[in-house]
Amino acid sequence: MKRQEIKEILQSEAIGSTIKVSGWVRTKRESKNVNFINLNDGTVLSNLQVVAEVENFDEKILKKINTGAALTVVGELVESGGQQRVELVAKEIEVVGEADPDKYPLQPKRHSLEFLREIAHLRFRTNTFSAIARVRHAMIFAVHKFFTEKGFFNIHTPIITASDCEGAGEMFQVTTLDMNNPPRTEDGKIDYSQDFFGKITSLTVSGQLEGELAALALSKIYTFGPTFRAENSNTSRHLAEFWMIEPEMAFYDLNDNMDLAEEFLKYLINYALDNCQEDLLFLSQRQQQEEKNKPQQERSMELIEKLKFVVENDFVRLTYTEAIDILQKSKPAQKGQFQYPVEGFGTDLQSEHERFLVEKHFKRPVILIDYPANIKAFYMKVNPDGKTVAAMDVLFPQIGEIIGGSQREERLEILVEKMKAMGIPLEEMDWYLDTRRYGSVPHSGFGLGFERLITFVTGMGNIRDVIPFARTPKNCEF
């Protein structure tokens, strides 16, 4: 007999039929004559209730049915008086894999997220983490669907790179040299000409520069790959290894770029609302449970309400300079409540400032544009004022920056000047400059941090809980 998955069984109309199901035991409840087993196979949040009449089974088998054990059950599908429409009356039970109830770390009770991080190899088996995994998958699919529908091409950009000027922070070096005894040049420095690639190489912090090369031929492309940042920031929004989606479009200016970013985020959130209802409902209840411990004014909107709110409202668009003005006049600034003071034009905005604008001042997502040139990367287009660049950051409640992007500097001379001023080695970037030498066109793009999106959509408080195995400073388990 072919195994059926629980997702399909719970929707089944085939009352009275004999079916076969496999999964893991979440809980078992024993009464004198019957055992009620909640079986989950990860295909959906809900469990299938299996009813085993004690007299029909060997006592030894029933004893092995513990939380965490894997079972295959053949039985009759009947209507249920319980939470689900149907349940399974067991005829045969095979214990496929046992789990010692005294040792299995996941007891059928609430575990803290911190504890579950330590057993991330098992946390997929909880409702919370299986729900997140399913939402994550839905979002991956929606990303490809959105861009495919719009005629974008997916490009794989390299993970190992020799350019260290992407300007997004510290990089992880990649080497095969013996670190205990590296070859040296005459002046005592490490001789990287003897390294695997014959030069210093690192893990990429962004696929943008290579993405631009493709966009200036294919018109609209996107990358969706792993990115690595060795920034020592122990926050709830930073990972050392995360996934980023980077569209890049020829003939798009900053306004086109903003329109696309807003449409994209709304599409993804809508997709989750339409396709992940059961999981979102569960995550919403989980979040509200957690919010109960917070003071009233710090509690966030109910998850689904919050997602709908973002989809239904226009994002606010304003310039960095306007934002600085609002921040300087704000109550927390007047009262000295910001940890980092807002000094005026040139101040790099911190998460607390971004969240003030979004959560307190405008109460909706904000796109900030036209940042001071000196706090942004070299490739951003210089505005006519000469001191700002055509950058855009999309700011979300709870998350702060979810997207960072810009219109790119397409004018060769101005780009070269800026690179010199910012100390970017021109020789190494000659390939990049070729796009400006030959058929250069205005173009734009942005980067969406995939885990920041998932943090928002699932209502989780910490980015470490929305990637299966988080890599953060001093933490690289599993």
Binding site for ligand ATP (CB under 6 A): 168, 229, 231, 238-239, 242, 244, 401-404, 447-449, 451-452
Q: Which is nearer to ligand ATP, 136 or 238 (CB)?
A: 238
Q: Which is nearer to ligand ATP, 432 or 456 (CB)?
A: 456
Check the CA dihedral 92-94-95-97 and report its sign. negative
CB of 396 to ligand ATP, least distance (A): 9
CB of 195 to ligand ATP, least distance (A): 26
| Nearest by Cα to 251 from 284, 218, 226 | 218
CB of 130 to ligand ATP, least distance (A): 22
- Asked if 3 and 20 count as a contact pair (C-beta separation under 8 A), the reply is yes
CA 234 – CA 365 distance, rounded (Å): 25
Q: Which is nearer to ligand ATP, 140 or 190 (CB)?
A: 140
Question: What is the dihedral angle through the alpha carbons of 37, 43, 44, 50, rounded to the nearest 10 degrees?
Answer: -20
CA 424 – CA 431 distance, rounded (Å): 13
Please name the residue ranges forming H helices in 195-299. 208-218, 254-275, 277-291
CB of 262 to ligand ATP, least distance (A): 14
CB of 350 to ligand ATP, least distance (A): 9
Compute φ and ψ for 226, nearest 5 degrees.
Answer: -75, 145
169 token code pair: 């922070």
Q: Which is nearer to ligand ATP, 111 or 471 (CB)?
A: 471
Cβ neighbors of 196 (< 8 A, separation 6 or more) are 174, 175, 176
469 token code pair: 């195995």
Q: Which is nearer to ligand ATP, 39 or 391 (CB)?
A: 391
Q: Which is nearer to ligand ATP, 45 or 260 (CB)?
A: 260
CB of 27 to ligand ATP, least distance (A): 35
Q: Which is nearer to ligand ATP, 44 or 261 (CB)?
A: 261
Q: Which is nearer to ligand ATP, 183 or 346 (CB)?
A: 346
From residue 456, give the alpha-carbon distance in Å to each of 302, 371, 403. 12, 25, 12
| Nearest by Cα to 203 from 154, 165, 158 | 158
What is the side-by-side strand order in the sheet with 316-319?
153-154, 220-228, 241-250, 443-449, 400-407, 388-396, 366-372, 316-319
Q: Which is nearer to ligand ATP, 24 or 456 (CB)?
A: 456
CB of 413 to ligand ATP, least distance (A): 26
CB of 340 to ligand ATP, least distance (A): 13
223 token code pair: 């990358």
Q: Which is nearer to ligand ATP, 19 or 470 (CB)?
A: 470
CA 306 – CA 312 distance, rounded (Å): 10
From residue 27, give the alpha-carbon distance in Å to each of 66, 83, 120, 368. 7, 15, 20, 49
Q: Which is nearer to ligand ATP, 12 or 236 (CB)?
A: 236
Q: Which is nearer to ligand ATP, 272 or 466 (CB)?
A: 466
Q: How many CA atoms lie within 13 A of 7 on its CB side?
A: 9
CA 354 – CA 395 distance, rounded (Å): 6
CB of 239 to ligand ATP, least distance (A): 4
**Angle between the N-to-C axes of helices 450-458 and 127-149, in degrees from 0 to 180, rounded to the nearest 10:** 120
Check the CA dihedral 189-194-197-202 and report its sign. negative
CB of 53 to ligand ATP, least distance (A): 51
CB of 170 to ligand ATP, least distance (A): 10
CB of 32 to ligand ATP, least distance (A): 53
